[in-house]
């Protein structure tokens, strides 16, 4: 049985690529990306609630999603839709409001095979610094990494290929 696990790779200094298979036809996976109503049902970690959403899904339209964490903290994300080719491609920009000006361009491509859909999300940053700055925002938590987890992680990374 093929795995539906998320694969994250950094094929170049400016990119982050994510790949994931879904047991659903492509038009449905595409549709799930087209409105606030859909996004509310899945975007972001479960413990975060979407408290604000604007989603003008057309080329040149903009989007903004604010979600609230368990301690009541709000995080805003925004961008604009650059290219929309149903049901195979969406190109949009992504900016975390906590780091204004650091804008990445994300291309979502959807490929269908045997009723299953492979989603490939390629995020391209303008500079290495911009990509790494984005990475830095994820560093505040979990500072106490143990050797056990490190070994686990290494084994996982080593066996991934």
Partner 1 sequence: MTASLDRTFAALADPTRRAILAQLSAGEKTVTELAEPFVMTMPAISKHLKVLEVAGLVSRGRDRQFRPARLEAEPLREVAEWAHRYREFWEESYDRLDEYLEELQGRRKEDNA
The window from 29-37, 57-65, 81-89, 103-111 that contacts partner 1 (CB under 8 A) reads: 29-37
Cβ contacts of 49 within 8 Å, gap of 6 or more: 67, 68
The whole-angstrom separation of Cα 84 and Cα 79 is: 14
C-alpha 1/C-alpha 22 separation (Å) is 13
Longest pairwise C-alpha distance within the chain:
47
Q: Applying CB under 8 A, which of residues 13, 56, 83, 126 lies at the interface with partner 1?
A: 13
| Residue in 67, 118, 125 with CA at minimum distance from that of residue 93 | 125
* Binding pattern for the stretch 58-97 against partner 1, x by CB under 8 A and - elsewhere: ----------------------------------------
According to CB under 8 A, which residues from 91 to 150 bind partner 1?
Answer: 119, 121, 128-129, 132-133, 135-136, 138-139, 141-143, 145, 147, 149-150
Sequence-ordered list of residues with C-beta below 8 angstroms from that of 61, at least 6 positions apart, any chain: 80, 81
**Helices and strands, number each (H, E), in the chain:** 4, 8
Min dist CB 144 to partner 1, Å, is: 10
Q: How far is the CB of 68 from partner 1 (least distance, A)?
A: 15
Contacts with partner 1 by CB under 8 A lie at 4, 6, 8, 10, 13, 16, 18, 20, 22-24, 28-29, 31-32, 38, 41-46, 119, 121, 128-129, 132-133, 135-136, 138-139, 141-143, 145, 147, 149-151, 153-155, 157-158, 161
């Amino acid at each position: 049985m093929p795995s539906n696990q998320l694969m994250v790779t950094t094929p170049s200094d400016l990119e982050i690529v994510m790949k994931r298979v879904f047991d659903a036809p492509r038009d449905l996976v595409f549709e799930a990306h087209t409105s606030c109503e859909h996004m509310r049902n899945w975007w972001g970690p479960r413990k975060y609630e979407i408290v604000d959403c604007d989603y003008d899904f057309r080329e040149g339209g903009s989007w903004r999603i604010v979600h609230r964490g368990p301690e009541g903290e709000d995080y805003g994300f925004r961008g604009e839709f650059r290219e929309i080719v149903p049901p195979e491609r969406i190109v949009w920009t992504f900016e975390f409001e906590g780091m204004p000006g650091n804008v990445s361009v994300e291309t979502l491509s959807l490929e269908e095979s045997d009723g299953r859909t492979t989603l490939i999300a390629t995020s391209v940053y303008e500079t290495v610094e911009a990509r790494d700055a984005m990475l830095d925002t994820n560093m505040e938590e979990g500072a106490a990494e143990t050797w056990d987890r490190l070994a686990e992680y290494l084994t996982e990374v080593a066996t991934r290929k």
